[in-house]
Protein backbone atom coordinates (compact mmCIF):
# COMPACT_ATOMS: atom_id res chain seq x y z
CA UNK A 1 0.00 0.00 0.00
CA UNK A 2 1.67 3.24 -1.15
CA UNK A 3 2.20 5.93 1.46
CA UNK A 4 1.63 8.59 -1.20
CA UNK A 5 -1.65 7.14 -2.44
CA UNK A 6 -4.58 9.35 -1.47
CA UNK A 7 -6.00 8.63 1.96
CA UNK A 8 -9.48 8.17 0.49
CA UNK A 9 -8.24 5.34 -1.73
CA UNK A 10 -6.42 3.69 1.16
CA UNK A 11 -9.45 4.04 3.43
CA UNK A 12 -11.68 2.48 0.77
CA UNK A 13 -9.28 -0.44 0.47
CA UNK A 14 -9.29 -0.94 4.24
CA UNK A 15 -13.09 -0.88 4.35
CA UNK A 16 -13.11 -3.65 1.76
CA UNK A 17 -10.21 -5.78 3.00
CA UNK A 18 -10.33 -5.48 6.79
CA UNK A 19 -13.78 -4.06 7.45
CA UNK A 20 -15.17 -0.78 8.75
CA UNK A 21 -14.36 -0.97 12.44
CA UNK A 22 -12.04 1.58 14.04
CA UNK A 23 -10.38 0.65 17.34
CA UNK A 24 -9.93 3.59 19.68
CA UNK A 25 -6.97 3.63 22.06
CA UNK A 26 -7.88 5.86 24.99
CA UNK A 27 -5.78 5.34 28.16
CA UNK A 28 -8.48 6.79 30.39
CA UNK A 29 -7.92 6.39 34.12
CA UNK A 30 -11.08 4.32 34.59
CA UNK A 31 -10.04 1.89 31.86
CA UNK A 32 -6.50 1.58 33.22
CA UNK A 33 -7.81 0.77 36.69
CA UNK A 34 -10.25 -1.79 35.25
CA UNK A 35 -7.18 -3.60 33.88
CA UNK A 36 -5.55 -3.49 37.29
CA UNK A 37 -3.09 -0.84 36.09
CA UNK A 38 -1.99 2.37 37.76
CA UNK A 39 -3.22 5.63 36.31
CA UNK A 40 0.23 6.82 35.32
CA UNK A 41 2.57 6.68 32.35
CA UNK A 42 3.61 3.09 33.07
CA UNK A 43 -0.02 1.98 33.16
CA UNK A 44 -0.81 3.90 29.98
CA UNK A 45 2.15 2.29 28.22
CA UNK A 46 1.07 -1.22 29.16
CA UNK A 47 -2.50 -0.51 28.10
CA UNK A 48 -1.74 1.26 24.81
CA UNK A 49 0.86 -1.19 23.54
CA UNK A 50 -1.35 -4.15 24.43
CA UNK A 51 -4.19 -2.57 22.46
CA UNK A 52 -1.88 -2.07 19.47
CA UNK A 53 -0.76 -5.70 19.67
CA UNK A 54 -4.37 -6.90 19.88
CA UNK A 55 -5.96 -4.65 17.27
CA UNK A 56 -3.57 -3.19 14.73
CA UNK A 57 -3.26 -6.30 12.54
CA UNK A 58 -7.01 -6.94 12.45
CA UNK A 59 -8.66 -3.52 12.43
CA UNK A 60 -8.27 -1.32 9.39
CA UNK A 61 -8.30 1.83 11.49
CA UNK A 62 -6.74 2.73 14.84
CA UNK A 63 -7.72 5.98 16.59
CA UNK A 64 -5.59 7.11 19.54
CA UNK A 65 -7.10 10.00 21.51
CA UNK A 66 -4.24 12.43 21.97
CA UNK A 67 -5.54 14.03 25.16
CA UNK A 68 -5.26 10.81 27.16
CA UNK A 69 -1.58 10.63 26.25
CA UNK A 70 -0.82 14.34 26.60
CA UNK A 71 -1.97 14.32 30.23
CA UNK A 72 1.24 12.44 31.09
CA UNK A 73 3.44 15.18 29.65
CA UNK A 74 6.42 14.59 27.41
CA UNK A 75 6.49 10.89 28.28
CA UNK A 76 2.88 10.56 27.17
CA UNK A 77 3.59 12.29 23.87
CA UNK A 78 6.56 9.97 23.30
CA UNK A 79 4.28 7.01 24.01
CA UNK A 80 1.75 8.36 21.50
CA UNK A 81 4.50 8.57 18.88
CA UNK A 82 5.31 4.91 19.52
CA UNK A 83 1.64 3.87 19.35
CA UNK A 84 1.18 5.65 16.02
CA UNK A 85 4.38 4.16 14.57
CA UNK A 86 3.66 0.59 15.71
CA UNK A 87 0.03 0.65 14.58
CA UNK A 88 1.05 1.90 11.14
CA UNK A 89 3.80 -0.72 10.94
CA UNK A 90 1.14 -3.38 11.55
CA UNK A 91 -0.74 -2.15 8.49
CA UNK A 92 -3.53 -0.13 10.11
CA UNK A 93 -4.43 3.41 9.11
CA UNK A 94 -4.02 5.71 12.10
CA UNK A 95 -6.58 8.45 12.65
CA UNK A 96 -5.08 10.70 15.31
CA UNK A 97 -7.91 12.22 17.33
CA UNK A 98 -6.58 15.71 18.06
CA UNK A 99 -9.54 17.91 16.98
CA UNK A 100 -7.23 20.75 15.95
CA UNK A 101 -8.84 24.00 14.84
CA UNK A 102 -7.20 27.40 14.56
CA UNK A 103 -6.28 30.04 12.00
CA UNK A 104 -3.35 31.05 9.85
CA UNK A 105 0.16 30.07 10.84
CA UNK A 106 -1.07 28.30 13.99
CA UNK A 107 -3.29 25.98 11.97
CA UNK A 108 -0.39 25.43 9.57
CA UNK A 109 1.80 24.40 12.51
CA UNK A 110 -0.83 21.96 13.79
CA UNK A 111 -1.10 20.50 10.30
CA UNK A 112 2.67 20.15 10.02
CA UNK A 113 2.84 18.39 13.39
CA UNK A 114 0.47 15.64 12.30
CA UNK A 115 0.32 15.51 8.49
CA UNK A 116 3.92 16.10 7.42
CA UNK A 117 5.48 12.63 6.96
CA UNK A 118 8.72 13.93 8.49
CA UNK A 119 7.04 14.88 11.79
CA UNK A 120 7.46 12.55 14.81
CA UNK A 121 3.66 12.49 15.30
CA UNK A 122 2.63 12.09 11.66
CA UNK A 123 -0.52 9.99 11.25
CA UNK A 124 -2.57 8.90 8.27
CA UNK A 125 -5.38 11.30 9.16
CA UNK A 126 -6.45 13.68 11.91
CA UNK A 127 -9.69 15.02 13.31
CA UNK A 128 -10.25 18.77 13.08
CA UNK A 129 -12.74 21.33 14.38
CA UNK A 130 -14.22 23.72 11.78
CA UNK A 131 -15.94 26.14 14.11
CA UNK A 132 -13.57 28.99 13.30
CA UNK A 133 -14.82 28.49 9.75
CA UNK A 134 -14.21 25.47 7.58
CA UNK A 135 -11.89 27.57 5.45
CA UNK A 136 -9.61 28.06 8.46
CA UNK A 137 -8.60 24.41 8.03
CA UNK A 138 -7.12 25.10 4.59
CA UNK A 139 -3.50 24.52 5.76
CA UNK A 140 -4.50 21.02 6.88
CA UNK A 141 -6.37 20.35 3.64
CA UNK A 142 -3.37 21.49 1.60
CA UNK A 143 -0.83 19.40 3.51
CA UNK A 144 -3.13 16.38 3.46
CA UNK A 145 -3.47 16.66 -0.32
CA UNK A 146 0.29 17.03 -0.75
CA UNK A 147 1.13 13.90 1.26
CA UNK A 148 -1.82 11.56 0.73
CA UNK A 149 -3.26 12.19 4.19
CA UNK A 150 -6.82 12.62 5.43
CA UNK A 151 -8.75 15.10 7.56
CA UNK A 152 -11.98 14.24 9.39
CA UNK A 153 -13.92 17.41 10.14
CA UNK A 154 -16.46 17.60 12.95
CA UNK A 155 -19.96 18.10 11.57
CA UNK A 156 -22.54 16.52 13.93
CA UNK A 157 -21.41 15.37 17.34
CA UNK A 158 -23.41 13.40 19.85
CA UNK A 159 -22.98 15.76 22.80
CA UNK A 160 -26.09 17.88 23.49
CA UNK A 161 -23.97 21.03 23.86
CA UNK A 162 -23.01 20.80 20.21
CA UNK A 163 -26.56 21.43 19.01
CA UNK A 164 -26.55 25.19 19.63
CA UNK A 165 -23.74 25.59 17.07
CA UNK A 166 -24.16 22.61 14.76
CA UNK A 167 -27.92 22.93 14.34
CA UNK A 168 -27.97 26.71 14.17
CA UNK A 169 -29.65 28.01 11.03
CA UNK A 170 -27.59 29.76 8.37
CA UNK A 171 -28.92 32.62 6.25
CA UNK A 172 -29.93 30.12 3.56
CA UNK A 173 -32.00 28.15 6.07
CA UNK A 174 -29.67 25.15 6.25
CA UNK A 175 -27.81 24.14 9.38
CA UNK A 176 -24.19 24.90 10.17
CA UNK A 177 -23.56 21.15 10.13
CA UNK A 178 -25.00 20.83 6.64
CA UNK A 179 -22.85 23.70 5.45
CA UNK A 180 -19.74 21.87 6.65
CA UNK A 181 -20.87 18.66 4.94
CA UNK A 182 -21.65 20.49 1.70
CA UNK A 183 -18.28 22.28 1.60
CA UNK A 184 -16.37 19.04 2.15
CA UNK A 185 -18.51 17.29 -0.47
CA UNK A 186 -17.56 19.99 -2.96
CA UNK A 187 -13.87 19.58 -2.09
CA UNK A 188 -14.18 15.81 -2.60
CA UNK A 189 -16.01 16.16 -5.90
CA UNK A 190 -14.68 13.82 -8.57
CA UNK A 191 -12.47 11.81 -6.22
CA UNK A 192 -12.46 8.06 -6.82
CA UNK A 193 -13.20 5.78 -5.05
CA UNK A 194 -13.48 8.15 -2.03
CA UNK A 195 -12.32 11.64 -1.26
CA UNK A 196 -9.75 12.14 1.48
CA UNK A 197 -11.74 14.70 3.47
CA UNK A 198 -14.14 13.02 5.85
CA UNK A 199 -16.75 14.11 8.34
CA UNK A 200 -17.36 13.11 11.94
CA UNK A 201 -20.96 12.10 12.67
CA UNK A 202 -21.84 10.94 16.19
CA UNK A 203 -23.56 7.57 16.36
CA UNK A 204 -26.32 8.83 18.67
CA UNK A 205 -27.31 12.06 16.89
CA UNK A 206 -31.05 12.45 16.83
CA UNK A 207 -31.23 10.11 19.78
CA UNK A 208 -30.63 9.97 23.49
CA UNK A 209 -28.89 6.97 25.02
CA UNK A 210 -31.09 4.83 27.26
CA UNK A 211 -30.62 1.47 28.88
CA UNK A 212 -32.49 -0.02 25.94
CA UNK A 213 -30.33 1.89 23.42
CA UNK A 214 -30.64 5.19 21.56
CA UNK A 215 -34.15 6.59 21.14
CA UNK A 216 -35.18 9.27 18.66
CA UNK A 217 -35.81 12.60 20.33
CA UNK A 218 -36.56 16.18 19.35
CA UNK A 219 -34.09 19.05 19.24
CA UNK A 220 -34.43 22.03 21.56
CA UNK A 221 -33.20 24.26 18.73
CA UNK A 222 -36.24 24.25 16.50
CA UNK A 223 -35.11 21.63 13.98
CA UNK A 224 -36.97 18.34 13.94
CA UNK A 225 -34.69 15.47 14.84
CA UNK A 226 -36.99 12.59 14.07
CA UNK A 227 -39.07 11.70 11.08
CA UNK A 228 -41.54 8.92 10.50
CA UNK A 229 -38.70 6.55 9.63
CA UNK A 230 -36.60 7.64 12.61
CA UNK A 231 -33.95 9.38 10.51
CA UNK A 232 -32.35 12.60 11.72
CA UNK A 233 -33.21 15.14 9.02
CA UNK A 234 -30.84 17.90 10.15
CA UNK A 235 -28.17 16.68 7.75
CA UNK A 236 -27.94 15.16 4.29
CA UNK A 237 -25.02 12.96 3.21
CA UNK A 238 -26.52 11.86 -0.11
CA UNK A 239 -23.78 13.42 -2.25
CA UNK A 240 -20.92 13.11 0.22
CA UNK A 241 -18.21 10.89 -1.25
CA UNK A 242 -15.74 10.76 1.62
CA UNK A 243 -15.19 8.55 4.66
CA UNK A 244 -17.45 9.10 7.67
CA UNK A 245 -15.96 8.58 11.12
CA UNK A 246 -18.66 7.57 13.60
CA UNK A 247 -17.68 7.87 17.28
CA UNK A 248 -20.09 7.19 20.13
CA UNK A 249 -20.35 3.45 19.47
CA UNK A 250 -20.64 0.92 22.25
CA UNK A 251 -20.33 2.38 25.74
CA UNK A 252 -21.77 5.73 24.62
CA UNK A 253 -24.93 4.10 23.31
CA UNK A 254 -24.41 3.76 19.56
CA UNK A 255 -25.02 0.40 17.90
CA UNK A 256 -24.34 -0.91 14.39
CA UNK A 257 -28.07 -0.92 13.68
CA UNK A 258 -28.06 2.87 14.17
CA UNK A 259 -25.65 3.50 11.30
CA UNK A 260 -28.20 3.40 8.44
CA UNK A 261 -30.40 5.86 10.37
CA UNK A 262 -27.55 8.27 11.05
CA UNK A 263 -25.75 8.06 7.71
CA UNK A 264 -28.38 7.18 5.14
CA UNK A 265 -26.79 6.76 1.69
CA UNK A 266 -23.28 7.34 3.10
CA UNK A 267 -23.45 4.21 5.20
CA UNK A 268 -21.06 2.31 2.91
CA UNK A 269 -18.24 4.68 3.82
CA UNK A 270 -18.86 4.46 7.57
CA UNK A 271 -15.96 3.95 9.98
CA UNK A 272 -17.64 3.17 13.33
CA UNK A 273 -15.27 3.72 16.25
CA UNK A 274 -15.23 1.69 19.46
CA UNK A 275 -12.92 2.21 22.42
CA UNK A 276 -14.08 0.96 25.82
CA UNK A 277 -16.11 -1.97 24.48
CA UNK A 278 -13.03 -3.39 22.75
CA UNK A 279 -10.77 -2.71 25.73
CA UNK A 280 -13.19 -4.14 28.29
CA UNK A 281 -12.01 -7.79 28.04
CA UNK A 282 -8.36 -6.78 28.55
CA UNK A 283 -5.60 -7.10 29.43
CA UNK A 284 -5.65 -10.53 27.74
CA UNK A 285 -4.74 -9.99 24.07
CA UNK A 286 -6.77 -12.90 22.74
CA UNK A 287 -9.88 -11.65 24.57
CA UNK A 288 -9.49 -8.18 23.07
CA UNK A 289 -9.09 -9.69 19.60
CA UNK A 290 -12.23 -11.76 20.09
CA UNK A 291 -14.20 -8.64 21.09
CA UNK A 292 -12.85 -6.76 18.06
CA UNK A 293 -13.71 -9.61 15.68
CA UNK A 294 -17.25 -9.89 17.07
CA UNK A 295 -17.87 -6.16 16.70
CA UNK A 296 -16.34 -6.18 13.22
CA UNK A 297 -18.78 -8.86 12.11
CA UNK A 298 -21.70 -7.04 13.73
CA UNK A 299 -20.78 -3.87 11.84
CA UNK A 300 -20.32 -5.73 8.56
CA UNK A 301 -23.74 -7.29 8.96
CA UNK A 302 -25.47 -4.00 9.77
CA UNK A 303 -23.79 -2.29 6.81
CA UNK A 304 -24.41 -5.18 4.45
CA UNK A 305 -20.73 -5.60 3.58
Write out the catalytic residue numbers.
99
Contact 52, 25 (CB under 8 A): yes
Residues 6+ apart with CB under 8 A from 183: 134
Contact 168, 159 (CB under 8 A): no
- Count of other CB atoms within 10 angstroms of residue 260: 18
H or E element at residue 139: helix 138-147
Whole-Å CA distances, 106 to 81, 101, 111, 127, 268 = 21, 9, 9, 16, 35
The whole-angstrom separation of Cα 177 and Cα 234 is 8
Amino acid sequence: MSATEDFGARAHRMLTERGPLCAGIDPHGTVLRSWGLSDDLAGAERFALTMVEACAEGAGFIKPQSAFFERFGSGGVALLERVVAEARSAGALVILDVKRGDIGSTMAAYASAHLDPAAPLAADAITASPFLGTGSLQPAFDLAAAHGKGVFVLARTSNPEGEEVQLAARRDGGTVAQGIIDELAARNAGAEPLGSLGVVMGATIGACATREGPQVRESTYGIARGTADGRDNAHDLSVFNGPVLVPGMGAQGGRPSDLPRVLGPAVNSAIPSYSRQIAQPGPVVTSIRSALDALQEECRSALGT
